[in-house]
Chain A
Amino acid sequence: MKRYPITAFSIVALTLSACSSEEASESSDADSLLTDDWKVIQEAAQGQEVNMYMWGGNDNINNYLDEWVAPRMKEQHGIELNRVPMNDAQDIINQLLDEKTAGKTDGSMDIVWINGENFKAAKDNGLLWGDFTGQLPNFNDYVDAAAPEVSEDFGEPVEGLEAPWGKAQFVFVHDEAQYETPPKSMDELADWVKEHPGQFTYPAPPDFTGSAFVRHVLYETTGGHEQYQQPAAEIEDLEQRLEPMWQYLNSIEPYLWREGETYPESLAKQDQLFASGEIGMTMSYDPALAASEVLKGRFPESTRTYLLDGGTLANTHFLSIPFNASDKAGALVAINELMSPAAQTAKLSPENWGDLTALDLEKLSPEEQQAMNEVDLGEATLSIEELEQNRLPELSSDYIDIIEKGWTEHVAKE
């Protein structure tokens, strides 16, 4: 009788270990990949299985990778690209931190999709592999490495640890049929919410988009972004400088949705309010998201996006390789392929994703430029030129921490 459970358990354990994933591939001479010839890398990449860990909550993005990118990767480079859906990029970092603590060297994350705070956390904790972008032909040929949006990620120097994959810019979203002339500055917005009480709100920071909205308020109410290019610790009177922002946010609060007693907890919730017509405006850090929501029938046909007269925040999102990636050669080739003009042009189309290219248009051949310009971005999306001309730089994450904590204290609690 006593033996029974034990045998049963070991049978179960045996069956399970037989089907658990096999750990292959050595990481010993992986670091030579940082200096090897591209041809050597391509050969090493043959037959590798590359796991790409990324947020998995958008069917367009998922389909772009599964149906557009993965088959080409297999055909052209013999690489099996396996998209792994995550709920939040922060989870990737937590996972890697634990793996580093436990000394795991044969990690299964080969490519991770990160930027901003996640990149800073990963960099500070040594979770990224190394300076690899110089190895990628497409990075060298098509990317302006000196441009601030490529060399810095939310104020943090990139140092070749991650390769730009696409660009995003903050836009406001409204229904043209409902409100013809939306407010294009924070002053106009303050008047607008008083005329249309209950029609505006923003996701509560630390929601990514809500937090970005608050940064626009910061720029417009405290006199521009230039003063915040230095580290937050070096500004002695930061508290006082931020004061007009809190005043502004508190002054519009009584006129917000539900009289500002509560805020949508995420952009998804806010979009839901907009989609159901409960509020008149939403926002997005993805300039083409509104267009794809129109295609899906969630947002009305007359949905349009617009920028503030003073410009809106823009950032770049990146692909990186973790320190313990098992298939680094495959990851390099895959990232290079994701940055190719063909893949970037496909990514630009709202049917696939609608994400702005990370490449420098001027470095492309005339045919490639034309292909990119011919992509129909949809009526809800602004032109690339208009977006490019109105970009504001992001704040570094030390400011973002201060603002997000300050918002809870000064706005949510009052």
Chain B
Amino acid sequence: MKKHPRFLSLFLFIGVFIFVIVPFVPLILTSLSFGWRWPDVVPQAWSLRAWEYVVNDGRTWQAVGISLWIALIVTAINIVLAVPAANALMRYRVRGRWLFEAIIFAPIIIPPFISVMGIHLTFLRLGLTETVLGVVLAHIAPTLPYMFRAVMISYQTLSTDWEDQARMLGAGAMPRFFHVVLPHLLPGILAGASLSVLISLSQYLITFIIGAGQVVTLPILLFPFISGGDPGIASAYSLLYAVIAILALIIMDAALKRYYQMNKASQNQSKGVKP
């Protein structure tokens, strides 16, 4: 780590700066500006109007909570769906495997708008519109492919030999899964979960159509301001959105690290007990 060529790290730093940090600068300035006209490079006057609106509106915090809640449940369901699916498709001879994969990956290629129109009518009949459950179910279509792909790749590097070995040592199906398969899949699951959370957080159209205004997530609040042309408030909401997305990722990453540390500790312990 230490012996990176200096120009490479400099290059990386400039890259991160230009593509990650710089886009935030105009957002921050716009959200705080009071009149920002050409040819001023920076605003000449400042105002907290946009932030006051965003922070004082009770809907904002409700929307943050609901957005995260939906993303969390969507991700949990995705894990439950993607792990067995990847297991089956990667390790068994499945006839027409390409067909199953095509179906799972289809939402990436087909615009969600097309499917959600049909889903809306069905959900209306089932009474699932305007409910968090309906929105969660609708979010699974665009997020599952990413989770599935990440878990699939993890499975590719996991030979059945490991499980056979565990089986020979007398481990049942459950211990085999939790002690052999799951630890190997975890980085993949985390990568998939990060994408799943981010994509769920950013859904506007699907949430809007299925939630029908009763399930208010952050994008639902943000979009009218973008189209209505209030750059100040739109910027403030965008920043809030970015902070929440980044926080979610950091928390997930920290949770994984903690899990590995605990695992290491317990492994060391068990080594001590049984040589």
Contact = CB atoms under 8 A, between A and B. Distances in A.
A187 interface: no
Contacts of A1: 173-174, 177
A277 B37 contact: yes
Interface residues of B, number: 52
A84 B214 contact: yes
Interface string B18-46: 00000000000000011101110000010
A263 to B, nearest CB: 16
A384 interface: no
A43 B132 CA distance: 32
Contacts of A57: 224-230
Contacts, number: 129
B158 interface: no
A59 B233 contact: yes
A24 interface: no
B221 A56 contact: yes
A85 B213 CA distance: 7
A50 to B, nearest CB: 13
B225 A277 contact: no
Contacts of A23: 127
Contact of A298 (B35, B212, B216): B35
Chain B contact surface mostly: helix
A102 B84 CA distance: 35
A85 B63 CA distance: 12
Interface in B75-104: 76-77, 80-81, 84
Interface stretch (A14-22, A25-33, A396-404): A14-22
Interface stretch (A193-201, A233-241, A265-273): A265-273
Contacts of B213: 51, 53, 84-86, 95, 108-109
B166 interface: no
Contact of A102 (B77, B80, B124, B130): B124
Nearest to A19: B132
B208 interface: yes
A300 B45 CA distance: 12
Contacts of B53: 59, 62-63
A13 B229 contact: no
B230 A58 contact: yes
Interface stretch (A4-12, A154-162, A165-173, A385-393): A4-12
27 contacts: A5-B80, A9-B80, A12-B73, A17-B131, A20-B131, A21-B131, A21-B214, A53-B213, A57-B227, A57-B230, A59-B49, A59-B225, A84-B213, A87-B224, A88-B227, A95-B212, A95-B213, A101-B121, A102-B125, A108-B130, A266-B229, A271-B229, A272-B231, A297-B33, A298-B35, A298-B232, A300-B35
Interface of B: 33-35, 37-39, 45, 47, 49, 53, 57, 59, 73, 76-77, 80-81, 84, 120-121, 124-125, 127, 129-134, 136, 173-174, 177, 208-209, 212-214, 216, 220-221, 223-233
